[in-house]
Amino acid sequence: MAGTRAAIRYAKAVLSLAQDQKVTDAVNDDMKSIAKSFAENEDLRAILQSPVIKSADKRASLKETFSNTHNITEGLLNILVDNKRIGILGAVAEKYSFLYDQLNGKEVAYVTTAVPLSGELEKKVLAKVKDLTGNEVSIENKIDESIIGGFILRVGDLQYNASIANKLSSLKREFINN
């Protein structure tokens, strides 16, 4: 993803400032709202990433869209517009939330399955991931029917692929190589 390193730097700076002012929770709420809006609203992404639209118009759109945000968040939006980096806003918001969770000893385990996880299975996965990481973990279940069955578990930088599609793919590679 373009601008990932810059997004991490901005997120770290915002987190540091929020820690100094003891408002990390409020800023995290803003960042989650921004990340959600950025992910769901294609028009917003198009406006912010367009080189044709003037910075003043982008600033006005952001001010209207995110009117009830903390001063630190408003400052971030203004700096990104001024530095012509507003296109990475979604990535900055995601990185901030990730860093905030790390700071508080929380992690998100992404489990991709072909069908939704049952409550019992979700509890088992939660317990196992908590044992592996030692942190408080929440599960985000993504449904992807293309994996056919099994699951893909991703926690931080680690990924375990136990999907049937992966097993079929590796079996196919074996047959091709032999």
> pLDDT at position 2, please?
54
> pLDDT at position 32, please?
94
Two structure tokens written together for 98: 């990730």
Sign of the CA dihedral running 109, 110, 115, 116: positive
The two beta strands, 136-143 and 106-113, are parallel
Q: How far is CA 80 from CA 55, 68, 91, 175, in A?
A: 10, 18, 12, 51
CA 44, CA 63: separation in Å to the nearest integer? 12
**Within the chain, which residues score under 50 in pLDDT?**
1
CA 134, CA 74: separation in Å to the nearest integer? 35
One-letter identity of residue 27: V
Place of tokens 């917003």: 44
pLDDT, tens digit, 9 for 90 and up, residues 93-130: 999 998 998 888 888 888 999 999 898 988 888 888 88
Domains of the chain: 4-102 (1.10.520.20), 106-177 (no CATH)
